[in-house]
Amino acid sequence: MPPRPSLLRTFKGPLVEGNPVTVQILGICSALAVTTSLDTAVTMAVSLTVVLVLSAAVVSLIRRHIPNAIRLIVQIAIVASMVIVIDQILQAWFFEISLRLSVFVGLITTNCIVLGRTESFARQNPPLPAMIDALGNGLGYSAVLIVIGAIRELFGAGTLFGLTVLPLAEEGGWFTPLNLMRLAPSAFFLLAGLVWALRSVLPDQAEPPETIPPDVPEGR
């Protein structure tokens, strides 16, 4: 067994270097859907991080007793229960936001990041490293959501957290909101831009090309 990396590395790894969204391209479905405004993005990010950390802790605690044959369903059951509890809490204390997040909190269950981390990390590691890894991944996801949510809200509605930053033209200011920013495709573009930017700065993240173009002079 290779030596276990330090806790700090476990935590920092998934933030930028191994970011679940920009490097592994996991969990982008919700990243597209809930980033229309910053407050939904933050709520979703916090919910996912909490679910991820709690499920990693539980799975890691019982890791020696999970039969291989039913390991996926045991993990899914644990994740789903956590998600329902979080959803109920949101409906009780953050009712407004829960209305806007609608089904997407429930869909955390099927978020690849959660099952990916419990399956590949928490199942082989003690609770503390498992939770640190989950926290790192959760924050990595959160960072992407918050960046995209902030850009979309700022240019789509001229606000951040509902506070006016760019005064709108129709209310006497100068800013004409970009309607595209409120629609799902803009999140695709922003996410692609973010991945591109990150891979330009950190070329290690770029995947090797799947095919190598043949080295022949083109018939011009």
Partner 1 sequence: MADQTPTNPWKRLLALPNESRGKTLFVAFATALVCTLLVSGATVLLRPIQTANRAAETQLRLEALLSAIPGMTALLSSSDSAQLSTVVIDLAQGRAAQEITPETLETALLDTANWTALSPELDLAGIGTRPDYAQVYLLRDGEAVKLMVLPIAGAGYNGPIEAMIAINGDMESIAGLTVTGQSETPGLGARIEEPAWQQGFAGTKFRDERGEMRFAVARGPATTDYEVDGITGATRTSTAMTRMVRFWLGPQGYGPLIDAVKRGEF
Minimum CB separation of residue 99 from partner 1 in Å reads 8
Which residue, 66 or 168, is less far from partner 1 as judged by CB?
Answer: 66
Least CB distance to partner 1 at residue 93 (A)? 7
Dihedral sign computed on CA atoms, order 165, 171, 176, 179: positive
Q: How far is CA 88 from CA 82, 96, 135, 169, in A?
A: 10, 13, 22, 40
Minimum CB separation of residue 7 from partner 1 in Å reads: 28
Residue that has been written with the tokens 């890691």 in this structure: 60
> Shortest Cβ distance from residue 185 to partner 1 (Å)?
13
Cross-strand pairs, 163: 160
Tell me the C-alpha distance between 179 and 32, whole Å. 15
State the minimum distance, in angstroms, from the CB of residue 27 to partner 1.
Answer: 19
Nearer Cβ to partner 1 (46/89): 89
Residue with Cβ nearer partner 1 (101 or 150): 101
Residue 81 Cβ, how far from partner 1 at the closest point, in Å? Answer: 4
Footprint on this chain of partner 1 (rule: CB under 8 A) = 62, 64-70, 73-74, 77-78, 80-81, 84-85, 88-89, 91-93, 95, 99, 102-103
Sign of the Cα pseudo-torsion (160, 164, 167, 170, in order)? positive
Calculate the alpha carbon distances from 126 to 1, 60, 74, 114 in Å. Answer: 14, 6, 18, 17
Question: 79 or 139: whose CB is closer to partner 1?
Answer: 79
Angle at the Cα of 44 (from 39 to 165), degrees rounded to 5?
Answer: 20
Closer CB to partner 1, residue 77 or residue 192? 77
Query: Could you identify the residue written with the tokens 């909101």?
Result: 177
Cα distances (angstroms) measured from residue 155 to each of 68, 104, 138, 160:
48, 23, 26, 10
Closer to partner 1 by CB, 23 or 187: give it: 187
